Structure 1
Amino acid sequence: MPQSLSHDDAGEPQFSLAFDPAYGQAITLALGVLRVTANNPSPLTFLGTNSYVVGDERRCLVIDPGPADIAHRDALLRAVAGRTVEAVLLTHSHADHAALAPAFSAAVSAPLLGAPRVSALGEKRLGGATLDASSADGLVFAHDLRDGEQLSLAGAEMTVIATPGHASDHLAFALEGTGIVFSGDHVMAWSTPVVAPPDGVMQDYMASLRKLLQRSDSRYLPGHGGVVERPVPFVRALIRHRVMREGAIVERLEAGDRTIPAIVAAIYPDLDPRLVPAAGLSVLAHLIDLQSQGRVRTHSNGMGDTLYLLVVV
């Protein structure tokens, strides 16, 4: 969930809100790596969606073209600067990252590469329905990317890292030899991502975080906000944060809370009202995970409400 400020008194991640989006400009982050931020700020996108251009003076690739915004398209084309675009890569299909992708890849005559959504939508829902994150329409990939796949593009070697959780099709991309990982929405400096059922799955998200701990990368370039400079301890803190959040939910069930709104009100007391639905989705994702562990069961009160009951084991 997005946070307004951060601390580490109890092992919490040190979130950073320091970020200059420099809309319309290409910002150099490393040799051959440019960031262009779309002007689509919101409570869930922070100050906008980051697109990345990676390559040398003759060729490049683009990661996450972003929302369907003409000004952002033009800024990306300026960043490409007439180079051959060898591929357009997507970290995931949410519209703020991918809506521009079909038109942009056609405009630069580049293949669009990403992963299909793989979760069985609906099967992972618990009780009442809830909205899924909006995804871009018309995504047809020239090639479906696989976990561990090696890509040789634009003079660079890129490794595909499947990181489902925030979305079933979420990928990260490691730029080999640099210590850089393009982490999409999986790990961001400004906030934890929303895990929104049915396509977002908490168990997958946690497994993907632990998967990144097996690597020794030095910088994450995320889909929103600034650079994650010390990713390994930051990811460890994200895991602790989610474990603590799960514990808080269990405590609320023990205290007698039976509905998601009641749990959200108790554990997010000062939350921006615009973020209450997203908080409810993250609580739901935790409850689904707890149910899969046999620690929670559901019950209907006959009026269309789903009640959540803690199982004593």
Structure 2
Amino acid sequence: MGGAPATEAVTRRLRDGMAGGVLSFPLTSFHDDGSLDPDGFRAHVADRLATAPGAVFPACGTGEFFSLDEDEYRTVVTIAVEEAAMGVPPREGVRAWGSVPVVAGTGYGWAQAARLARIAEEAGADALLVLPHYLVAAPQDGLVAQLEQLAARTRLPLIAYQRGQVAFGVDALRQITEIPGVIGLKDGHSDLDRLQRLTLAAPEGFLFFNGAATAEIQARAYAAVGVPAYSSAVHAFAPEIANAFFEALKGGDDGTVEKLLRDFYVPLVELRDRVPGYAVSLVKAAARLRGRPVGPVRAPLTDPSAADLAGLRTLLVTGLDLVGAAL
């Protein structure tokens, strides 16, 4: 890992935040005509920050990174940084007001990723989540080289994201931990055998977190191999549920964990799996059901059918009832 003081400070802030709250991936707000809605996004991010997440990750998968142009990306990251600077309520593991780090998404090939990294730097982001590259399969040496090329072109610390066609082996993991500025790995494969080997091979202090879709489903299994931190798409529309689950898991309240899994999270996953892209579309629809100004998804994603929207509403009411919150 890089040893620069700034990188070490960001790593420390992320580690503290990950221990104290879920990792929040805000939705990107659009108007009905598909254009960016900066005011809606600002309100959405402010609402997320008010619930003291461990970190906020704008312009990532849940935020429809793949559909943003560079100007929109700049606006989204800038707003997230501005809102984070306004401060958040104190929470266990969060040191003080305003201490929530902002980790912006970047991706595609390293050349385009570097262009976006410069924008994120200028906007004041603390770090970057490097999303899986576009289209082509690549050997392990190429995956390492992709991060080397990007790290050489940005001052921001990098968190690699393995999902889809990106999967690091032990040797490649050891190599990326030696790249200055690479501080962590987000895992979306849920291959716990491989992940255990990676965590054992990594140097002390290297960050890992669970980035599986609806990560709460596998949170206990990930924690068992040394990866307790996780991202929460549910936090984007029901932070009450996401935080209740996090606190129950952290406090060893298996009864609450299992009730939330059985009655809310598992049915949510079953609904999510009906249509490709629902991992984002349902989250955005649930936020709209709660009156949040996030708007529709952009193509190629599609909004849920009327029948699925009705099922989502029923499930959302059930989940909120479980934690004593209102729609």
TM superposition score normalised by structure 1:
0.30
Instruction: Compare the two structures and name the one with the higher strand fraction.
Output: 1
Larger Rg: 1 or 2? 1
Instruction: Compare the two structures and name the one with the higher helix fraction.
Output: 2
Which of the pair has the greater relative contact order for Cα pairs under 8 Å at 6+ separation?
2
TM superposition score normalised by structure 2:
0.29
